[in-house]
A and B are shown apart, each in its own frame.
Chain A
Amino acid sequence: MKIKKIEILLVFLLIVSLATTFVGSYIGLISSPPDSKQGDAVRIMYIHVPTAMWSLMAYTIMALVSFIYLWTHKKIFHLIANAIAPIGMIFTILCLITGSIWGKPMWGTYWTWDPRLTSELILLFIYIAYLAINIGLETLRRKATILAVWTVIGAVNIPIIKFSVTWWHSIHQGSSMIKKGGGSAIDPSMQTPLYIMIIGITLLFITLSLINILRLINEEKNLKA
């Protein structure tokens, strides 16, 4: 059996993304110094920040391709959104879990109904609803349209999550990576592992999405055949 070029590329991407994540985790969890105030609890940041970033980015991409699907009715856009949804949901769950673990030593509680936390939880429910619709609807054209409409409606939540810390009084801190006046609030010794983790998680997200998109395309081809 011939191994296609795309499969070799995917394996390569997977190895690179896992290696980058491993290096980032090693530096973040072992080599980087503890925070002056937060101590070792700050190390959760190296997983929490990239997963939070990609929980939002995944949905933004889904919303964009869903909008294009509604515009053009080309099936590939539906498949892309469909492939990204479960990955985005996993990143959102990871973000919420790591956030809760970080919240206990910092805020004294695992969970509070803060605007940022609540809106991120709503995002998880939107992902779950997307997958729930996806499981049960039979006719593809209708399902694709319904899912696309649902994704576009849910996109309203994305700016709410992003700006919740500035619009309302939030216990959750604002962005430390890029401050208002420019520069970063994070020490360079912590910036390096954080950026490596962001690159690693980004590559992992791209790889997993591509694998899932290819799987769905193959399923489509098999159905037609």
Chain B
Amino acid sequence: MLENIYNLSLFEFKNHRSNITSSIFILIFYALGIIIFSFAMGGNVYESINKKNDILNMAQMNAININIGIIWGITIFALLFYSLSLFKEDISDGTLEQLIINDMGLTSYVVIKTLISWAFNCLPFIILQPLFTTILNIPPSYWLNIMLSLVIGSLALSFTLSLCVSFIVNHSKNNFILSILFIPLSIPILIFAISSSENNSYSLLILLAFSIISIFIYPIITGYILKQLTNQ
């Protein structure tokens, strides 16, 4: 069993490494999104943040909150971008059937698949967050919280997305349906993710709880759905 998990992890790792260009594309998409939004917001927002005050005033706080919202908005788009074809190939080429025959639980497959694609597609832009937050003029005191909430929140969102993708894996209009499925499940996570990015430790704990629930419960449901699809 452990050997199977190790082999599958290695296979997924190599698979993603050979497709590294798609991860780079997502990073470029993320960076472009941040730059376009910072242009679209105009100079007034940044002027208000840059005023030298010891204590941030209301306008500065609002500008920072808007920029944190932008970060999360683009994160959602990036996640949707890479999740669309998460299981499609494995179903069509029979990998899933092989896993079931080899007595490999689909739950662990979902966990491995989601974690590795998260590491390849999400982690790079989380690591580069100080750069993006600098472009958006968010003060360094926010960086740690933004990165921490992005790590926890994007993990929860990735597992939520893998569940949504499993619902529509053979669906004819999957891009449209995926966003409809993703909205209701992602709103509660987003509310606490944005709040925890704004230095709210209580929200960070709730976000952590969401993340733990997503990691432990969603793969079981996703595995069940994928098994139903393969058993057809």
Residues of A with Cβ closer than 8 Å to B?
118, 122-123, 125-126, 128-129, 132-133, 136-137, 139, 141-142, 145-146, 149-150, 153-154, 157, 160
Contacts and interface: CB of A to CB of B under 8 A. Distances in A.
Cβ-closest 9 pairs across A and B: A125-B184, A122-B184, A126-B184, A129-B181, A129-B180, A125-B183, A132-B180, A132-B177, A145-B228
Interface stretch (B5-13, B65-73, B166-174): B166-174
Interface in B74-126: none
A123 to B, nearest CB: 8
Interface in B35-83: none
Interface of B: 163, 167-168, 170-173, 176-177, 180-181, 183-185, 187-188, 191, 221, 224-225, 228-229, 232
Nearest to B177: A132
Contacts of A146: 167, 225, 228
Given A133-B168, A146-B167, 9 more contacts: A125-B184, A125-B187, A129-B183, A129-B184, A133-B171, A139-B232, A142-B228, A153-B221, A157-B184
B224 A149 contact: yes
A142 B167 contact: no
Nearest to B224: A149
Nearest to B191: A118
A85 to B, nearest CB: 14
A157 B188 CA distance: 10
Q: Is the interface of B mostly helix, strand, loop or mixed?
A: helix
Contacts of A157: 184
Contacts of B181: 129, 132-133, 150
B225 A149 contact: yes
22 contacts: A118-B187, A122-B183, A122-B184, A122-B188, A123-B184, A125-B180, A125-B187, A129-B177, A129-B184, A132-B180, A133-B167, A133-B168, A133-B171, A133-B177, A141-B232, A142-B229, A145-B225, A149-B167, A149-B221, A150-B167, A153-B163, A154-B184
A141 B224 CA distance: 14
Contacts of B167: 133, 146, 149-150
Contacts of A128: 180
A88 B223 CA distance: 29
A151 to B, nearest CB: 12
Nearest to B222: A149
Which of A126, A136, A141, A160: most chain B CB closer than 10 A? A136
B187 A122 contact: yes
Contacts of A149: 167, 221, 224-225
Contacts of B185: 153
A157 B163 CA distance: 17
A12 to B, nearest CB: 38
A71 to B, nearest CB: 13
Contacts of B177: 129, 132-133, 136
Contacts of A154: 184
Contacts of A153: 163, 185, 221
